[in-house]
Amino acid sequence: QSALTQPASVSGSPGQSITMSCTGTSGDVGGYNFVSWYQHHPGKVPKLMIYDVTIRPSGVSNRFSGSKSGNTASLTVSGLQAEDEADYYCSSYTSYSTVVFGGGTKLTVL
Amino acid sequence: EVQLVESGGGLVQPGGSLRLSCAVSGFTFSSYWMHWVRQVPGKGLEWVSRIKTDGTQITYADSVKGRFTISRDNVKGTLYLQMSSLRAEDTAVYYCARDLISSRGLDKWGQGTLVTVSS
């Protein structure tokens, strides 16, 4: 049950788009379309942004989008805004009937 | 309004035990799988355990298997995490979370309760 691999940090200027990756294996990301993404502002509660690779829960901005290719999932944030600055975690269901998170990516809006 | 409220955290010595509770309201608790997720201060999220609606299916992360026990009381609307043989590395904020659909996303989270394992 190794953690999914995420870059430690990404950054972009307001209005720009960024994409962050989440790499797993065929036993998790690659084997199921059950990848989710969470936004976590320090001191606050994690917020579900994407589930089932591409689906946005009600109330989540359409500036957030998800995709997957093979064992790597991606989260794209378009039209960056200051309030997007946060930690982002990917997660996947696994072949062991467990859930695994990535190590997290810190998004900085320059 | 959906609410999840954890309690039971605190300071415990290595090798000790602690039981966390998560009281929910605003939704039909018995219809949802539930999870525990933890976060070591300054570190990332780590999934701990999940339990099916009726308690008949349970899985754990390897890091807690054999030491932690998840359970639920659908009458009381409460999720539990019994933690034993605690180690320093179990020090973390523990969150309970509602499963949107079959572990495909955790859509509601509690505010977390801090567990500190130290002598």
Q: Which tokens sit at A50?
A: 């994407």
Cβ A99–B35 below 8 Å, yes or no?
Answer: yes
Mean pLDDT of B30-49: 97
Q: CA-based Rg of chain B, rounded to a whole angstrom? A: 13
Cβ B61–A1 below 8 Å, yes or no?
Answer: yes
Q: Which of A43, A47, A22, A25 is nearest to A94 (CA)?
A: A25
In percent, the amount of chain B with pLDDT more than 70 equals: 100
How close is the nearest chain A Cα to the Cα of B62, in Å? 7
Q: How confident is the model at residue A1 (pLDDT cuts 50, 70, 90)?
A: confident
Asked if the model's pLDDT at residue A9 lies above 90, the reply is yes
Q: How confident is the model at residue B64 (pLDDT cuts 50, 70, 90)?
A: very high
Which residues are B78's β-sheet partners? B23, B73
Nearest residue of A to residue B104 by CA position?
A34
Q: Which of A1, A45, A99 sits opposite B62 (nearest CB)?
A: A1
- From CA A95, how far away is CA A93, in angstroms rounded? 7
Asked if the model's pLDDT at residue B77 lies above 90, the reply is yes
How close is the nearest chain B Cα to the Cα of A6, in Å? 11
**Cα–Cα separations (whole angstroms), residue A82 to A5, A52, A57, A90, A109:** 25, 26, 21, 21, 6
Q: Which tokens sit at B64?
A: 């807690």
B109 touches chain A (CB under 8 A): yes
**Residue A38 belongs to what H/E stretch?**
strand A35-40
What is the pLDDT, as a whole number, of residue A79? 98
Give the tens place of pLDDT for each residue, A45-54: 999 999 999 9
Residues of A in contact with B60 (CB under 8 A): 98
Cβ B105–A48 below 8 Å, yes or no?
Answer: yes
Which residues are B37's β-sheet partners? B47, B95
- From CA A9, how far away is CA A78, in angstroms rounded? 16
What is the pLDDT, as a whole number, of residue B101? 84
